[in-house]
């Protein structure tokens, strides 16, 4: 921590607890004076949490994701999608909840839903987040847009993002396991037929 603050002349924000489907993640932000550089340090006591599992597999430290800033996230998402970018799928009930919490108009909600973009706001402004699907064993990208003077990091969205990633990873693991079993299932299904034909020509 002291290395980061001295190297980048950054200051520390208070530690906050972020809810994860697998446990609580302790998160602390360090940022440069002009906030052009922001680093979030996460840790968890349980490896059931995505952050805890990621760190446990790397002997205590690693870069789990990199975030970039956009001045127009809706346009950025459209351009990325045309180039094959796959966003993290966000369930529809998240957007139903947004409507109830913030009273967003239909056009705004439709754009958020179409792009799988997450939303938050505080007294300073609005915050939009777009996540990639995880690569390899958990690394992912994030693109954000800060409107007006929003000063947070979308902590309210962290449980939804973590749950969406967990669902996606679990589904892909099940698909991968089934794919590896297909040759065995195919042989098992056709083996009696092969035996019958062998007997027929004997």
Say which residue, 191 or 31, is predicted with more confidence. Answer: 31
The pTM (predicted TM-score) of the whole model is 0.70
Cα separation of 170 and 168, whole Å?
Answer: 5
| pLDDT category of residue 6 using cuts at 50, 70 and 90 | low
Summarised one tens digit per residue, pLDDT across range 8-23 is 677 877 777 777 766 6
- Per the rule left: phi > 0, alpha: psi between -120 and 50, beta: everything else, 180 is alpha
Domains, the chain, in order of start with CATH, read 2-201 (3.10.180.10)
d(CA 183, CA 130): 38
pLDDT tens digit string along 36-72? 777 777 776 666 666 656 666 555 566 778 899 999 9
pLDDT at position 199: 40
Whether the pLDDT of residue 113 is over 80: the answer is: yes
Give the mean model confidence (pLDDT) for residues 148-158. Answer: 89
CA 49 to chain centre: 13
Angle CA(51)–CA(72)–CA(157) in degrees, nearest 5? 30
- pLDDT score of 185: 47
Confidence of residue 130 (pLDDT cuts 50, 70, 90): very high
- What digits encode the pLDDT tens for the residues 65-102? 889 999 999 999 999 999 999 999 999 999 999 988 99
Residue 32 has pLDDT above 60, yes or no: yes
Specify the pLDDT at position 47: 66
Contact call for residues 42 and 54 (beta carbons, < 8 A)? no
């Amino acid at each position: 921590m002291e290395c980061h603050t001295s190297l980048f002349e950054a200051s520390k924000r208070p530690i906050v607890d972020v809810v994860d489907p697998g446990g609580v993640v302790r998160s602390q932000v360090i940022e440069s004076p002009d906030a052009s550089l922001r680093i979030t340090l996460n840790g968890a006591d349980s490896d059931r949490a995505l952050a805890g599992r990621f760190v446990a597999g790397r002997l205590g430290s690693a870069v789990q994701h990199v975030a970039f800033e956009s001045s127009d996230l809706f346009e950025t998402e459209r351009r990325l999608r045309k180039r094959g970018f796959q966003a993290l799928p966000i369930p529809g009930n998240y957007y139903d909840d947004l409507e109830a919490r913030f009273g967003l108009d239909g056009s705004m909600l439709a754009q958020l839903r179409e792009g799988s973009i997450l939303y938050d706001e505080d007294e300073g402004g609005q915050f939009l987040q777009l996540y990639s699907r995880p690569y390899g064993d958990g690394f992912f990208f994030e693109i954000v847009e800060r409107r007006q003077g929003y000063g947070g990091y979308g902590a309210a969205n962290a449980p939804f993002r973590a749950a969406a990633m967990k669902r996606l990873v679990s589904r892909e693991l099940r698909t991968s396991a089934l794919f590896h079993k297909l040759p065995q299932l195919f042989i098992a299904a056709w083996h009696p037929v092969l035996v019958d034909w062998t007997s027929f020509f004997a």
